[in-house]
Amino acid sequence: MASNPYFSLAVLFVVALGFGLAPLGLARLWAIVFSPAKPNTVKNAIYECGLVSKGDAWVQFRSAYYLYAIIFLIFDVEAVFLLPFAVAFTGLGMAACAAMLVFVLLLVEGLAWAWAKGILTWA
Amino acid sequence: MAVDNELKIELGKQGVFVTTIEELYNWGRRSSVWPMQFGLACCAIEMIATTMARYDLARFGAEVFRPSPRQADLMIISGTVTKKMAPQVVRLYNQMGEPKYVIAMGACAISGGPFKQGYNVLKGIDRYIPVDVHIPGCPPRPEALIQAFMTLQKKIDGQSLTGADRPRHLDAEAQGEFPVPEPGEHDLEPTSNPGVWTVPVVIR
């Protein structure tokens, strides 16, 4: 086994793992042996601003927010590409303008699709 | 103490350093006290000044003001505690992990100060939570806060790991929950925590 070329790597791996885990284990041991845990409802409250905690930390957000974020991306990406396009507009050829038109139409199609699906009306 | 102090100094001269687990443990604890980022009134301005370059609280290992009570060891009550704010202060103190210490900074925090006669001012935060160091002043200068901090460090250093004066986090019997006062009809209810404060008897 010791003749295996990967043997030293394995030893190093075990030592490195021990180096990381030993302090954690010692700290845990110290806490268990010497430091008694004293949890209570006030201490374990989820909110840390001093006010009384209400509800749960695992809140669910409406999926409508997610759809809005996606639709926002349409305008976001469009702005990022349109600005340099507008700056370099006078020096661009026919092909570049056509490519940009296709790109914008693709995004407009996405928006039209969302509109048709009724996502833009807040339900 | 396992090693005689004179013997320790003598050994130190010879280049041999002797220590105990207790000393090492307390050295680590007192050199890394993290205060809570929490200011109540004008004293907070002095507290901020203490952490800045001129006074430099970082020399004592305490520059890391934590925004969460879960990560903090030290609560500096920096300013007037109104009766509206007191429940929040006590709740935050409850949420701090052990071991936790409190510095009552300034006249207001220790007694109500110039606003003591006010209907809405708590007459000292030590009515609800155990205070380790009181500093007078209105507001105390940054040097005073540093003095308080050094006093706290001395206190931490002097706490033995066993025996009656051991720190609270090593004591299973020590009070874990400090009741949070509720606003009552005329005053906070209860008006004080009997576990940490005894109502003084006025002799006329």
Cα B53 to Cα B32: distance, rounded to the nearest angstrom: 18
Q: What is the ipTM of this complex?
A: 0.74
- State pLDDT tens for residues A37-88: 888 888 888 888 888 888 888 888 887 788 888 888 888 888 898 898 889 8
Reading phi first (left if > 0) and then psi (alpha if -120 to 50, else beta), residue B38 is in beta
* For residues A86-97, average pLDDT: 88
* B106 vs A3: which has the higher pLDDT: B106
Q: A50 to chain B: which residues are within 8 Å by CB?
A: 87-89, 91-92
Contact at CB, A35 and B169, closer than 8 angstroms = yes
The pLDDT value recorded for residue A123 is 66
The overall average pLDDT reported for chain A is 87
Across-strand partners of B101?
Answer: B74
Contact B94, B189 (CB under 8 A): no
Burial of B2 by CB count in 10 Å (0-12 exposed, 13-18 middle, 19+ buried)?
A: exposed
Burial of B113 by CB count in 10 Å (0-12 exposed, 13-18 middle, 19+ buried)?
A: buried
Say whether pLDDT at A22 is over 70: yes
Chain B from 124 to 163: CB within 8 A of any A CB: 161
Contact B176, B79 (CB under 8 A): no
The pLDDT value recorded for residue B1 is 53
Cα B129 to Cα B122: distance, rounded to the nearest angstrom: 12
Q: Which domains does chain B have, with CATH numbers?
A: 34-158 (3.40.50.12280)
* For residues A20-26, average pLDDT: 96
Q: Identify the CA nearest to B59 among candidates B151, B158, B140, B149.
A: B149
Q: HSE-up of B22 (CA within 13 Å, CB side)?
A: 14
Chain B from 44 to 73: CB within 8 A of any A CB: 68-70
Q: How many helices (H) and strands (E) are present in chain A, helices listed first?
A: 3, 0
* Total beta-carbon pairs less than 8 A apart between chain A and chain B: 42
Residue B158 Cα, gap to closest chain A Cα (Å): 18
- State pLDDT tens for residues B1-58: 567 888 888 888 999 888 888 889 899 999 999 999 988 989 999 999 999 999 999 9
B94 touches chain A (CB under 8 A): yes
A43 touches chain B (CB under 8 A): yes
A35 touches chain B (CB under 8 A): yes
| pLDDT less than 70: residues of chain B | 1-2
Cα A34 to Cα A28: distance, rounded to the nearest angstrom: 10
Q: CA A104, A106, A107, A109 torsion: positive or negative?
A: positive
B169 touches chain A (CB under 8 A): yes
Q: Identify the CA nearest to B16 among candidates B28, B30, B3, B35.
A: B3
Cα B71 to Cα A77: distance, rounded to the nearest angstrom: 40
Burial of A7 by CB count in 10 Å (0-12 exposed, 13-18 middle, 19+ buried)?
A: exposed
Nearest CA in chain A to B85: A50
The pLDDT value recorded for residue B2 is 65
